[in-house]
Structures are given as C-alpha cells and as structure tokens.
Amino acid sequence: MKTTYREATRAAMRDAMQRDDRVFLMGEDVGEYGGCFAVSLGLLEEFGPERIRDTPLSEAGFVGAGIGAALGGMRPIVEIMTVNFSLLALDQIMNNAATISHMSGGQFNVPIVIRMTTGAGRQLAAQHSHSLEGWYAHIPGLRILTPATLADARGMLWTALEDPDPVLIFEHGSLYNMAGDLDDDAGAVDIHAAAVRRPGADVSLITYGGTLQTVLDAADQLADEGIDAEVLDLRTLRPLDDAAILATVAKTHRAVVVDEGWRSGSISAEISARITEAAFFDLDAPVGRVCSAEVPTPYARHLELAAVPSAERVVAAARQAVGAHG
C-alpha cells in the first residue's frame, strides 16, 4: 500500500493502542491539535482524551509522569515535539528512567517509549533542528532507535513497547512526508540489528535516520563512477550492532560514517573508534566521517544546507577512502 512515514508512525500507534489497553499517548498537542507534525491526527477521536492525553508545556513533568506510569504498570508513549525540548526533561530521562532499574537492584523497570522529532532541514534554526540522539546513546539503561524507513516507522514502536526498559525513538523531521510502498501486513520489526540497505563491495557507508536517504543518493552517484558502496543503516544507536559494523568493514575494508550530529564527541566518533579497535587490520584506508558543521543550526537555507551532511560530501569522502589505496 502507498503510505508515508507520518502515516506509518500513526498506524503503529493505532495498532499499539488497539493491542494493549495499557498503552496511551501523552504529549504537547497530541490530541486536539492532532500532533505538532500531524502524526497523531485523528487518534483523539478514535481513542478519547484519556488515552490521547494533551499535556501542558511541562516536559519534565509529563516525561516524569510517563516514567511513573510505566512504573505503575502502564505502557506510555510520550511524545516530545523536538529533541531540543527534550533537554527540559533530561533530568527525568537520565536520572530516573535510565537509572531506576540499576539503582533498585533490578526490582523495578521502566517500560516507557519516548518519541521525538530530531534533525535539521526545515529552516527551523538553532532551537528546533539539532541531532542529539548521539548524546542519548551515551547513556546506559536506554535503548535508542532511529527509524529511517517506512517499515521501521511502522514496526519499531510495538517492539519498543514490548521492551521492559526505556526506549527513545528519534524521528527525523524531514522523513514525515517520505512516501512509498509498505506491505499491507507490515508489523513489528526487530530493534537490535543494523540492516544493509544496499549491498556493495568497495566501501561501507554507515549511517542512520535522516541521512540514510542522503547516503543512498550518494551511493547511486558513486555507482555511476564505478564505486560499489555498501550502505549500512544502524537503526539502533544503543546498543550498537557491532557485528554488523565489523562485518561490512571486513567485506569492503573501507568505511565512511555519516551522522547529522556534530563531529566532536559524536556517535560517528564512537563507531570510528570501535572499527579501529576491532578491525584495524581489515582497513585499507582511514575511517572517514561526514558530520554536521560545528555551528548551531542556522536559519538561512543555504547555510543550513552547508551545515548538514550532503550527498556530495559523502561522495567525496567515499572517493577519498577508495582512492587512498585505489
């Protein structure tokens, strides 16, 4: 069937609400407004205000309440409008959701799912556009998901709700309008394994989320030049699928990591480090990285585009990796 990332995400929530009475959605403008990005449009009418729960602008309050409700036996989906706003709830995510299982010696667990929009590309400037999923991937106790395809937008949520521990789902804002075909019976998918989205032999392009399409476009351009790139979609940033990362590097001997986060201290730095730690002698070239420029995301279109990874920069990095021993 024809669908969009937005509709697939909505279908996933509807499915979860139908499957399990303990599931409810809570967040700013998820109900009467229909969701800031219209993801939850129509769900209020279908499930009512108890289960599609509009909240005040109280990120720490309602994220913490979601954690408490999870402790109390519910399966809350908490929506935060953008990753930048999640910083107002960072205390609850870091100090409660991620720690209570361990601090309590395993007596309690926090089966909450927190969804939020991440990323640049819509000229929303420096307080609505950042990619901080790499920060969250730093935190033990959390699971970090980055659905980049229609199937993952449709399928990751249910699996996340079945997870006994806190799961954060980062939806790149530029993906909501992405259209395509999805199987009519599409359903739950795994949330632990990376996926090869394009097999190739010459260089591994490792990415996730909003930059997957950028990287696939780059791979097409590289193919025109005779460079056969493999594209690995990480899907989950914590825990990282080390085996899949090492397998692609073992196959191509060259890697470029593409990450919309800032380069310093980024998830791409972590991946690069793991490759050099575990596969140094497989490498025929230094691990390359394409990340966002180290500026708060600018408003002006040309500056914003210059700040984030582009297919051109990915192509250049791949050429360099291949050319190093080419």
Partner 1 sequence: MTGTAAPAFADPKHARHLLRQMLRVRRLEEKCVQLYSEAKIRGFLHVYIGEEAVATGVMATLQPEDAVLATYREHGHALLRGVAAGAILAEMYGHQEGCCRGRGGSMHLFDAATRFYGGNAIVAGGLPLAVGLALADKLAGRRRVTACFFGEGAVAEGEFHESLNLAALWQLPVLFCCENNLYAMGTALRRSESQTDIALKAAAYEIPAWAVDGMDVLAVEEAARRATDAVRAGGGPHFLELRTYRFRAHSMFDPERYRDKAEVAEWLERDPIDHLRSALEAAGQLRKKDWDAIQREVDAEVQAAVDFAEAGTPEPTDELTRFVYSERSAP
Query: Of the two residues 60 and 293, which places its CB atom closer to partner 1 in the complex?
Result: 60
3-state secondary structure of 76: strand
26 close to 66: Cβ distance less than 8 angstroms:
yes
User: CB of 232: closest distance to partner 1 in angstroms?
Assistant: 24
Query: Of the two residues 41 and 90, which places its CB atom closer to partner 1 in the complex?
Result: 90
**Catalytic residue from among 59, 133, 260, 270:** 59
3-state secondary structure of 311: helix
User: CB of 51: closest distance to partner 1 in angstroms?
Assistant: 8
Beta strands in the chain, from DSSP E residues, in sequence order: 2-4, 23-27, 52-54, 75-82, 113-118, 143-145, 167-172, 179-181, 195-198, 203-207, 229-233, 236-238, 255-262, 288-292
CA–CA distance, 101 with 276 (Å, rounded to integer) = 33
Query: Of the two residues 159 and 268, which places its CB atom closer to partner 1 in the complex?
Result: 159
- In single-letter form, the type of residue at position 118 comes to T
User: CB of 314: closest distance to partner 1 in angstroms?
Assistant: 33
Is-catalytic flag, 59? yes
Structure tokens at 72: 């109390």
Structure tokens at 80: 């935060």
Is-catalytic flag, 325? no
**Catalytic residue from among 7, 28, 79, 128:** 128
- Give burial (CB, 10 Å; 0-12/13-18/19+) of 123: middle
84 close to 127: Cβ distance less than 8 angstroms:
yes
User: CB of 237: closest distance to partner 1 in angstroms?
Assistant: 15
Query: Of the two residues 143 and 313, which places its CB atom closer to partner 1 in the complex?
Result: 143
What is residue 214's DSSP assignment? Answer: H
User: CB of 15: closest distance to partner 1 in angstroms?
Assistant: 17
Binding site for partner 1 (CB under 8 A): 24, 50, 55-56, 58, 60-76, 91-92, 95-96, 100-109, 111, 140-141, 143, 162-165
Query: Of the two residues 76 and 173, which places its CB atom closer to partner 1 in the complex?
Result: 76
Residues designated catalytic: 59, 128
